[in-house]
Amino acid sequence: MEFQHKSTSWRDWAVIGLRCGFLVFAALVLFGTSADPAVVYPQSDTLVLLIIGAFSTIVLVVPTLFPALRRSFEPALTIGDWIIMALLVSTTRADPLLMVAGGAILIVSSAFRLTTTWGIIQVIGIAAAAWITGNEVLRQQGSAVGVDWLPIAELIVIGLASHVWAYLYQRQFSAQQTQLREEETAKSNQLRDMRSRTRSIYEMAGVLGSTLNTDRILEAAMNAGWLGLRSGATDTEERLVSAVLLFRSVDNQLAVKVSRGLTRTDEARSTPGAAGVIGEALIQCIPTFAGHARKDPELGNFVAFQNVRSVMCIPLRAGYDNFGVMVFGSVQPDAFTDEHTELLSSIGTQATIALQNAHLYQNLMQERDRLLEADEEARKKLARDLHDGPTQDIAAIAMRMGIIQKLLERSPQEVPSELKKIEELARKTTKEIRHMLFTQRPLVLENQGLKAALGQLRDKMKETYNQALAVRVNPDAERALDTGQQGVIFQIIEEAVGNARKHAQAQLISISVNKQDDMIWVNISDDGVGFDARAAETRSVERGGHLGMINLRERAEMVDGRLTIESTPGKGTSITLLVPIKDGQRAAGDKTPLRVHSGKTTKLEAVAAERLRQSPDH
């Protein structure tokens, strides 16, 4: 609109300028010396013509300066031209040459400013003014012949030609204006969309950098991707369908977490992610494209994707962990450009990093909770052990001291034997307390390693409880474990040995730690009375878990291990722990991944199953 006002104002001033030029031309001609000495133009009529011409020109300035009066420009210009033409014919005594020249200047100068309707009115009015005024002038001069029709015809032809040219020019000019407005609108929409995308990406970056909430991360990524695919069309959003699907840990199915354009039924669906464009994206780990979603074996089950003719699937993968996919669909064929692919891939990468951070943070919190629970359980275990052992022994010592006081009065000869018993009981209590302190924090484990710590555990069990232990530790296995892993494994072995000592009535408890490939194999077995492991496991589930089994399994999870318990009444018990070796501690060149996302059997589980199948008890 602003451009149109500027253009109209420019044309108005052009007409005013040409009109001033016409008045200058008329003044030079009418006040100058005529080629025919007999022809003399009346100066009074000439002044009237110039004054009225100047006045009509000034009148045109008013609507040019005030846009509200712009509609009055065309009638004012037309009426002014009629008056000037009549005065010109009257002043020049109907001179045919000046009549055509003056009329042509008036018509041509205003042709590109007047519309077609007003142009026709102007031409007819100028021709009529010339005809009527010329005939009146010639009648006053006593001429019997009227105005020649040829000058009038020339004015009409000039007028028609000028306005046809002006009409064509205005059409072209209007087309250019329309094109400029469309380009301006397109650029404005593009700039607005660009600002929206930039703002969305900044918001996404802010969210990804400030939150560990999975839902907020996915919502920000979806908004950024949605804006990245928008175009200037108003119905673009109606033609887009998108969703983020993440793996569920319970069944390893892809479930919809965030979506745009999906129905409620679609939002409740799940898919395995093993076929079609989703399966291909997860396997190849790159953005994958497809055509009609209706033909896709998995996306075809979603109602919202039935009419989609272009699909792009972005895998959300970090290292060996597959979190899920981002899927975008459009009803237009070949809707996704290289720019879209680059943008959405970048969004997917950032979202994956944020998801990985959130996942690591959740694991860290769970690990912290497990450590706190383990610490609390260790305190409770220490309290129970102190209550069941040293506390009762100390109470017995106090009771025997009272007995000794009475014996000093009645039978002094029996006092030495009682003192001997108290000494033995005190030594036993001291050993038990030292053993408890050793199991809580074995300094030899930190200084000399797992093998030395297990050797000391063997000696203390023999010394304190007269329990025989057989310990075998492969040096390669000990070197493959870091300090943290060795500490957790020692706690598992110590608790398993303690349980066997208390409940198994075993003559010998065997401990072995070996290494095979990228796994550490730990086995604690005894020749005790054993128990029904399956029945105990069933009771454990029904009653909320047996405390000893829960402690062992939770400690095994702290080192990403897998723990199995095999026992049969009368045949002893065997506890097996498999621990994966960390990447930095593997043999050089061994790059086999230890764990991958999804419900597929992991390498750890496969090795555990194979070891169990090879076990003599099976």
Per-residue model confidence as pLDDT tens digits over 48-66: 666 666 666 666 665 666 6
Per-residue pLDDT band for 347 (boundaries 50, 70, 90) equals confident
Per-residue pLDDT band for 82 (boundaries 50, 70, 90) equals confident
Q: How many C-alpha atoms does 177 have within 13 Å on its Cβ side?
A: 14
pLDDT of 236 over the 50 cut: no
Q: Which tens digits make up the pLDDT trace of 202-227?
A: 666 666 666 677 777 788 778 777 77
How wide is the angle at C-alpha 468 spanned by C-alphas 545 and 393, nearest 5°?
A: 70
Phi, psi at 292, each rounded to 5°: -65, 120
**CATH architecture for residues 450-618:** 2-Layer Sandwich (3.30)
- Number of other residues whose CB lies within 10 A of the CB of residue 426: 14
**Quick one: tokens of 85?**
């033409």
**Exposed/middle/buried for residue 10 (C-beta within 10 Å: 0-12, 13-18, 19+):** exposed
Per-residue pLDDT band for 523 (boundaries 50, 70, 90) equals very high
**What's the whole-number average pLDDT of the chain?**
76
Closest CA to 318 of 359, 279, 277: 359
Q: How would you classify residue 562: left for phi > 0, otherwise alpha for psi between -120 and 50, otherwise beta?
A: beta
C-beta separation of 442 from 453 below 8 A: yes
pLDDT of 469 over the 50 cut: yes
List the domain boundaries for the chain.
Answer: 2-183, 211-362, 450-618
Q: Looking at per-residue confidence, does 226 or 233 come out higher?
A: 226
pLDDT for the residue numbered 372 = 76
Give whichever of 276-280, 374-378, 556-560 has the largest mean pLDDT: 276-280
Q: Whole-structure pTM over 0.85, yes or no?
A: no
CATH node for 211-362? 3.30.450.40
d(CA 205, CA 144): 95
pLDDT of 316 over the 60 cut: yes
**Quick one: tokens of 250?**
């319970």
pLDDT for the residue numbered 617 = 41
pLDDT of 8 over the 50 cut: yes
Mean pLDDT of 547-576: 83
pLDDT of 299 over the 60 cut: yes
Q: What HEC string does 556-571 produce?
A: HHHCCCEEEEEECCCC
C-beta separation of 581 from 519 below 8 A: yes
Per-residue pLDDT band for 526 (boundaries 50, 70, 90) equals very high
Percent residues over pLDDT 70 in the chain: 75
pLDDT for the residue numbered 55 = 62
How wide is the angle at C-alpha 43 spanned by C-alphas 42 and 45, nearest 5°?
A: 70
Per-residue pLDDT band for 595 (boundaries 50, 70, 90) equals very low
**DSSP letters spanning 277-292:** HHHHHHHH-S-EEES-
H-only helix segments in 32-143: 43-65, 73-91, 96-111, 116-140
Angstrom CA distances, 86 to 82, 106, 135, stand at: 6, 12, 11
pLDDT for the residue numbered 57 = 67
**Eight-class DSSP state of 601:** P
Torsion of CA 270, 276, 280, 281, to 10 degrees: -50
Mean pLDDT of 252-270: 88
Residue with tokens 């020649």: 148
pLDDT for the residue numbered 274 = 87
d(CA 116, CA 99): 23
C-beta separation of 76 from 124 below 8 A: no
Per-residue pLDDT band for 593 (boundaries 50, 70, 90) equals very low
How far is it between the farthest Cα atoms of the chain? 182
How wide is the angle at C-alpha 21 spanned by C-alphas 17 and 23, nearest 5°?
A: 115
pLDDT of 510 over the 90 cut: yes
Per-residue pLDDT band for 11 (boundaries 50, 70, 90) equals low
Do β-strands 468-473 and 508-516 pair in parallel, antiparallel, or remain unpaired? Answer: parallel
Per-residue pLDDT band for 201 (boundaries 50, 70, 90) equals low
d(CA 199, CA 194): 8
H-only helix segments in 95-249: 96-111, 116-140, 149-210, 214-229
Q: Which tens digits make up the pLDDT trace of 370-392?
A: 777 767 777 777 777 777 777 78
C-beta separation of 22 from 53 below 8 A: yes
Q: Do domains 211-362 and 450-618 have the same CATH topology?
A: no
Residue with tokens 């003014």: 129
Mean pLDDT of 176-181: 86
Q: Which tens digits make up the pLDDT trace of 117-173?
A: 888 888 888 888 888 888 887 777 777 667 778 888 888 888 888 888 878 877 887
**Eight-class DSSP state of 501:** I
Own/partner pairs, 22-26, CB within 8 angstroms, 24+ separation: 22/53, 22/102, 22/105, 22/106, 22/109, 23/50, 23/53, 23/54, 23/57, 25/105, 26/50, 26/53, 26/88, 26/102
pLDDT for the residue numbered 235 = 42
